[in-house]
Amino acid sequence: MTTETVKVVPLTCHGHSRPITHISFSSVDHDDQYYLISACKDNNPMLRNGVTGDWIGTFLGHKGAVWSARLSADATLAATGSADFSAKVWDTQTGEALHTLDHPHIVRAVAFPNQPHPQILATGSQDKKLRIFDLSRGSASSSPTGVNGSSPTPSYEIGAGAHQGSIKSIVWGNDPNILITASEDKRIRWWDLRTQSTIGEYTVEGTLGSCELDNISADGGSGGGILSVAAGKTAYFFEARQPARLIKSIKTDYDLASVALHSGQGKFVAGSSGDTWVRVFDFETEQCLEVGKGHHGPVWTTMFSPDGKLYATGSEDGTIKLWKFTTGPYGLWR
């Protein structure tokens, strides 16, 4: 049911020293908790309490900017992709790096399947290759080819030669067999892992920004039904379960860097590469409803919490902000 939102001062999460490149929430666990992970150019991804923004820990080990960070559905694992030519899989309880997966180029995107205790990881890199790693086998530190005497973590490439640009985002839907990629060749591709081939493709206009699934469905249940893509001045919304089916595209006056949809409330949030503001739009009327101010740099990444009661934004200014998106007390807003 749609509720009226009340505009309040956002919570600001400090700790990073360089621009935020990507943020991602976990699902809600059995204690009604959820978590937030942030990727940053300071090499140090951070884990936080998703409700309060309180710092839990920093994953130490990357030697280059971290471009992508994801949590497994049960928040027991974290995955990060870095400019140090590696992806890492972490234990979120201990902070230990369980796997270091070497690549021949910068790793721009990582993704777990949307299920507890995932044993596979997808990575996308600037060598234009989509790889699937089997985390149940291989050593803790290895490369796809097993160089330097390491026991390789088994991996295979999907769609060799298909991507004509760096893979910027990977999204795993509710179907573990379907994977979605967004690349700098301005194409969104749907992949069937069983056939290792594309089952849908769509070309967007303009520079590609974020590509994420919504967290909240129209009935208030878990999301994953609509894919939101920012490209140029347009926000694209696709039916994630039906490859390349565009629900709606909304043109704006801004160069969009990030878009996040709340299907239940029929609103979406957008960050721009051209200013420092966060805008909330009505999905049906396409009108801007409010403007959130407080960041001091472009907003590169935004995402709704799994319960839809707040959204997070990550900026060039090195901060993450949590914005309340519900009525009544919630989290630290009392």
pLDDT tens series, the chain, 334 aa: 444 444 579 999 999 999 999 999 999 887 789 999 999 999 999 999 999 999 999 999 999 999 999 999 889 999 999 999 999 999 999 999 999 999 999 999 999 998 877 899 999 999 999 999 999 886 555 444 443 334 578 899 999 999 999 999 999 988 889 999 999 999 999 999 999 999 999 999 999 999 999 866 544 455 568 999 999 999 999 998 899 999 999 999 999 999 999 988 999 999 999 999 999 999 999 999 999 999 999 999 999 999 999 999 999 999 999 999 998 899 999 8
**What are 124-141's pLDDT values in tens digits?**
999 999 999 999 886 555
pLDDT, the chain, mean: 90
The DSSP line for 91-134 is: ETTT--EEEEEE-SS-EEEEE--SSSS--EEEEEETTS-EEEEE
Alpha helices in 147-188 (DSSP H): none
How far is the C-alpha of 112 from the C-alpha of 108, rounded, in Å? Answer: 14
- What is residue 30's predicted lDDT score, i.e. its pLDDT? 74
Q: What is the pTM of this model?
A: 0.92
- What is residue 147's predicted lDDT score, i.e. its pLDDT? 39
Which amino acid belongs to residue 252? T
> Could you give the domains of the chain?
11-324 (2.130.10.10)
